Structure 1
């Protein structure tokens, strides 16, 4: 290994594209149980445990989205977090499952077809 520090410092921001930023702001405020710290028509920013969840407007039809990069948000109880998002209208992408070493992951589609990943990882420490 090199003595150089990594150029990458870790997750800072995850941005989800939504067709209605006002509706998206309301939904994500409920989903993450927090209000945005930055709220403008072009961008809404939430502080989630020291990390940025951003919303931006898009004109694209939500049915034309493809699965690509998504992030996992840490949770203490994956079943509770998963059900909370389902109750708000999210739909299943991947049901909660154990991926080994007591780590649980799941993912859901928000109403705009973005994928929200959630993870319970008892080994992750900030």
Structure 2
């Protein structure tokens, strides 16, 4: 299966301020916690992450079937780890790599 791009996670320094702005734009969030606020935009996930590094900017996540295999293939091609794989939900892990120019590549899978 080919990877699909279905989410964008925006690091924020003030979750309440960001939530107010994104709610005005996108409507009520489907998930509203102290560590993540998520909005569904026609099947595309826009998330606010108060734990992210604002200076690094938003991260687009590609959904993949085998996170470890895709991550290893990207590292073999020259990508480097920014954030090692971690579990964010019962069946979901994420990681972030950098391309050769330091741009973020997010992976979301099992």
1:10 Cα deviation from its structure 2 partner: 4.5
Q: How many residues align?
A: 63
RMSD: 2.3
Q: Which residue of 1 aligns with 2:108?
A: 119
Q: Does 1:9 align with 2:42?
A: yes
Q: Which residue of 2 aligns with 1:110?
A: 99
Q: Which residue of 2 aligns with 1:89?
A: 78
| Superposed CA offset, 1:75-107 (max 9, x none) | 000100110000000000111111121211011
**Which secondary structure does the structure 1 equivalent of 2:59 belong to?**
coil
Higher strand share: 2
TM-score, normalised to structure 2's length?
A: 0.51
Instruction: Point out which structure has higher relative CO (alpha carbons under 8 A, 6+ apart).
Output: 2
Q: Which residue of 2 aligns with 1:79?
A: 68
Q: Which runs of 5+ in 1 are unaligned?
A: 1-5, 12-65, 122-126
Q: Which residue of 2 aligns with 1:100?
A: 89
CA distance in 2, matches of 1:92, 1:8: 29
**Which secondary structure does the structure 2 equivalent of 1:83 belong to?**
helix
**1:36-75 → structure 2 map (5 Å cutoff):** 66-75=55-64
1:114 Cα deviation from its structure 2 partner: 0.5
Higher CA-based Rg: 1
